[in-house]
Amino acid sequence: MKRITTGVLALIALLSAGVSCQDRKVKIPESDPQNPVLSDLISVKGHGILFGHQDDLAYGIDWHYEEGGSDVKRVSGDYPALFGWELGGLERGDTHNLDSVPFDKMRNLAVKADKMGGINTFSWHPYEVIEGRSSWTRDAEIVKHIMPGGSHHEAFKSQLDRIALFLKSIKREDGKSIPFIFRPWHEMDGTWFWWGSEQCTPEEFKKLFVFTVKYLREDKGMDNMLVAYSPDRNFESSEEYLTWYPGDAYVDILGVDNYHDLKQEDGHRDAIRKLHIVIAESKRRNKLSAFTETGLENVRDTTWYPEVLGAVLNDSLVQNEISYVMVWRNDPKVHFFFPYPGHPAEAGAKKLLERKRIFLLSDYNKAKKNSK
Ligand code: BMA
């Protein structure tokens, strides 16, 4: 019975997603329900929230590029269901990203993640193309100069060409490029990136987002790409959340990044309230929703996983609607967001990941099977 209900629900969701796809102005052949990542996420929605970790397979505390390595697995016994990767540096032709991950290794690990049944999601902290400054450049007008008609538009397109070349080169054994989630121009409601709220207007930002997605999909043929919209937590209403929203044709997953609220006393209530806004908008638009980035730096509170993030993920609307939650990377030299064996927060994180409705890789693989 459960299987039949799940199947019917998935079919309804697929059909309704299909309606929204017809409204799209750009032709997105595989970003409709045929995209396997999209249809899998739709089919398991409400059964469990996928747990994700940035750079999980690449390095962790006291190890890097070890076969089978994963801090999430070392603590919980299983890999995450979602694997985050960072592209910053690729746009200028670097061989390693800004966190020293070689793109060749990233490609192999993303192929492995896909083969194991996981989902890959890519963030991007690009160097700007005018003077080559980092994403954290606050005192320069960049966006308007890289748009069509701007002085550095062609150079910006070359940056996107490099991104496309790499993402298309991540292939399955049958030669097909793997489906993935791209999350460009994130945290635009903050002031720390050159595409942030003080560095460009919402209109300029929307043009940047639309241009990026259209260029990658239409000119570069990246029809295997889902796109996530993820402001940081600086909104209190749907209107504020949508200030930078580029339009339904260019977004598949509505998300939010939120570290700040979950550092405050009782901040889980604020985080839940904001996720409810994200969920309401995603439902209105027949889109998926996600908690695209979170974490507590160096996991300095042992109750953070089971009681703080745990409280957010226990909220019934969040549990029924959010597709995934991703915590940030474990860099031994800079900062880490998931505990390692022997760390005081290990038991609490394990406890959260043992919950029935939090999906690690094998839970996700089982849920996909059951929904078919
Ligand atoms: C930030 C930090 C930086 C890193 C950047 C891109 O949140 O982790 O150290 O360079 O993300 O991954």
Residue range 315-344, pLDDT digits in tens: 999 999 999 999 999 999 999 999 999 999
Distance CA 284, CA 278 (A): 10
Q: What is the pLDDT of residues 19-67, one digit of tens each?
A: 343 333 333 333 455 689 999 999 999 999 999 999 999 999 999 999 9
**For ligand 1, atom 7, which residue shows the shortest CA distance?**
328
- In this structure, which residue's CA is closest to atom 9 in ligand 1? 334
Closest CA to 112 of 165, 70, 154, 151: 70
Question: What is the CA(185)–ligand 1 centre distance, in A?
Answer: 14
Beta strands in 9-111 (DSSP E): 49-54, 59-60, 63-64, 82-86
- For residues 134 and 163, give the distance between their C-alpha atoms in angstroms, rounded to a whole number: 17
Pocket mutation for ligand 1, best pick of 54, 94, 99 (most atoms within 8 Å of C-beta): 99
**Residues 54/94, Cβ–Cβ less than 8 Å:** no
- d(CA 92, ligand 1 centre) in Å: 17
Decide: residue 51, CB within 10 A, 0-12 exposed, 13-18 middle, 19+ buried: buried
d(CA 62, CA 87): 23
Indicate which residue's Cα is closest to atom 3 of ligand 1: 99
**CB-based pocket (< 6 A), ligand 1:** 86, 88, 98-99, 125, 328-329, 334
Are residues 118 and 81 in contact, defined by beta-carbon separation less than 8 angstroms?
A: yes
Return the biggest CA–CA distance within the chain: 61
Q: What is the pLDDT of residues 176-213, one digit of tens each?
A: 999 999 999 999 999 999 999 999 999 999 999 999 99
What is the reported pTM? 0.92
User: Distance, CA 99 to ligand 1 centroid (Å)?
Assistant: 7
Residue 164 Cα distances to 35, 107, 167, angstroms: 18, 13, 5
